[in-house]
């Protein structure tokens, strides 16, 4: 008997960040909505992104080298065929879900936040003094109706953390963000 999988929430119903694309009519300066094609992400990283593509419209980025059940991921929902909106949700691997990943709805657990902080650091050390660190994913987008190579735009999605290293006189050094 086949296992019944739980349906995933729509990305707009999960805890998310979104990017909305518009095109400007160069003749009159008026913005208009059209579907978009998005490619990426790319960027320069110390540790590879190890991207997994699911169903052609979802990109999954593991936050650690652990990819087993319960591992934490960023899930990028590329615009659907008639959409101008891209979503980024916070997910964990869950074989019980129809796409294999559970999107957090109401909050992110502390273990996820710790993995996200490490992913942002990208293998660099935690600064002794308080410092902001960013990890930037680079994408390209083009409108399906305007679809001209010269109309392609590049955009970035930044993930930021504020990091401080504190010395513990009775134990090892710890990090906070």
Closest CA to 114 of 76, 157, 161, 171: 161
pLDDT at 170: 57
What pLDDT, in 10s, does the model give residues 22-72?
A: 888 888 989 888 899 999 999 999 999 999 999 889 999 999 999 999 999
- Given a cut of 80, is residue 173 above it in pLDDT? no
State the number of CA atoms in the 13 A half-sphere of 35 facing the CB.
9
What pLDDT, in 10s, does the model give residues 91-124?
A: 999 999 999 999 999 999 999 999 999 999 999 9
Cα–Cα distance measured from residue 97 to residue 95, given in angstroms and rounded to the nearest whole number: 5
- Given a cut of 90, is residue 175 above it in pLDDT? no
pLDDT above 70 coverage of the chain, percent: 92
Residue 129 pLDDT grade (very low, low, confident, very high; cuts 50, 70, 90): confident
Q: Are 19 and 155 in contact (CB under 8 A)?
A: yes
pTM for this entry: 0.86
CB atoms within 10 A of CB 41: 19
């Amino acid at each position: 008997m086949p296992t019944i999988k739980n349906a995933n929430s729509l990305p707009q119903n999960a805890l998310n960040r979104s990017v909305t694309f518009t095109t400007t009519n160069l003749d009159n300066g008026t913005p208009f909505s059209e579907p978009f094609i998005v490619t990426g992400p790319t960027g320069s990283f110390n540790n590879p992104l190890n991207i997994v593509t699911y169903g052609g419209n979802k990109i999954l980025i593991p936050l650690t080298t652990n990819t087993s059940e319960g591992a934490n991921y960023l899930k990028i929902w590329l615009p659907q065929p008639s959409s101008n909106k891209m979503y980024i949700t916070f997910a964990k691997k869950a074989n019980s879900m129809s796409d294999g990943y559970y999107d957090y709805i109401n909050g992110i657990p502390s273990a996820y936040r710790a993995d996200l902080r490490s992913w942002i650091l990208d293998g660099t050390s935690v600064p002794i003094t308080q410092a902001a660190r960013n990890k930037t994913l680079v994408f390209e987008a083009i409108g399906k109706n305007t679809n001209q190579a010269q109309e392609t735009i590049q955009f970035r999605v930044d993930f930021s953390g504020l990091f401080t290293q504190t010395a513990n006189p009775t134990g090892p050094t710890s990090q906070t963000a």
